[in-house]
Amino acid sequence: MAEVLVFHHGHGLTAGVRGFAEVLRGAGHTVHVPDLYEGRVFDSLEEGAGYAGSVGFGTIIARGAAVAEGLPAELVYVGFSLGVLPAQKLAQTRPGAQGALLLEACVPVAEFGAAWPRDVPVQIHGMDADPFFAGEGDRDAARAVVETVTDAELFLYPGDRHLFTDSSLPSYDEQAAMQVNRRVLGFLDRIG
């Protein structure tokens, strides 16, 4: 079984992110879900992104890295949207990474100053018309990862919702989220 570190999205550590972690635990994986917002949960993505901007995206990434330092190096990193920042940075730069699952976001590999490690598999999931994922360059960054990393997969789902995987938000898409969960569990089973 895999040991997994899950980073939440811009709303904060919602019931939907906790529920996703429980799905992974139910499959036998060890899952850590830190709160990078220190107890804050926001009703709107704009408010949550505003909070992240006010404390600094570098601070959010540093909080994620600090959590990882207290855990074994052999982790699979999972990030939802904003949480992709610490997840992707750690997968690219922390020795021992076992894999990465990037949900609804992906940043250019050069953002973290290192090539994607050849031995770190990655899955990226997003909606094909999500204004954030498709419209802000994340989809292009994901395609670049898939073109250069041996064990990389990009899954695009029909729709325009951001945070479609969080069951506690109005943007939730049950059918697409269930596909994501099946693919994520298959990825973890292969690694673990």
Which residue shows structure tokens 């090539």? 115
- Residue 67 has a CB neighbour count (10 Å cut-off) of 18
Q: Is 46 exposed, middle or buried (0-12, 13-18, 19+ CB in 10 A)?
A: exposed
Could you tell me where the beta strands, DSSP code E, fall in the chain? 3-7, 30-32, 76-80, 99-103, 122-127, 152-157
- Which residues, 6+ apart, have CB-to-CB distance to 175 below 8 Å? none
Residue type present at position 140: D
Provide the pLDDT confidence category of residue 192 given band limits of 50, 70 and 90: confident
Q: What angle do CA 69, 71, 74 make, to 5 degrees?
A: 105
Q: Of all residues in the chain, what percent carry a pLDDT higher than 90?
A: 95
Which residue shows structure tokens 């031995």? 119
| Closest C-alpha among 24, 53, 52 to residue 38 | 52
Q: Measured between alpha carbons, how far is 169 from 44 in angstroms, rounded to an integer? A: 10
Half-sphere exposure of 102 (CA within 13 A, CB side): 34
Per-residue pLDDT, averaged over 7-15, amounts to 98
**pTM, to two decimals:** 0.96
Model pLDDT for residues 76-94, shown as the tens digit of each residue: 999 999 999 999 999 999 9
Residue type present at position 62: A
Average pLDDT of every residue of the chain = 96
Model pLDDT for residues 141-166, shown as the tens digit of each residue: 999 999 999 999 999 999 999 999 99
Structural domain count, the chain: 1
Residue type present at position 55: V
What pLDDT, on the 0 to 100 scale, is given for residue 1? 92
Q: Measured between alpha carbons, how far is 132 from 55 in angstroms, rounded to an integer? A: 21
What pLDDT, on the 0 to 100 scale, is given for residue 118? 86
* Model confidence at 120: pLDDT above 80: yes
Range of the domain at 116: 3-191
Provide the pLDDT confidence category of residue 139 given band limits of 50, 70 and 90: very high
Q: Measured between alpha carbons, how far is 175 from 28 in angstroms, rounded to an integer? A: 23
160: domain CATH number is: 3.40.50.1820
- Which residues, 6+ apart, have CB-to-CB distance to 96 below 8 Å? 72, 73, 74, 75
What pLDDT, on the 0 to 100 scale, is given for residue 114? 74
Size (the chain), residues? 192
* Model confidence at 17: pLDDT above 90: yes
Model pLDDT for residues 95-111, shown as the tens digit of each residue: 999 999 999 999 999 99
Per-residue pLDDT, averaged over 23-36, amounts to 97
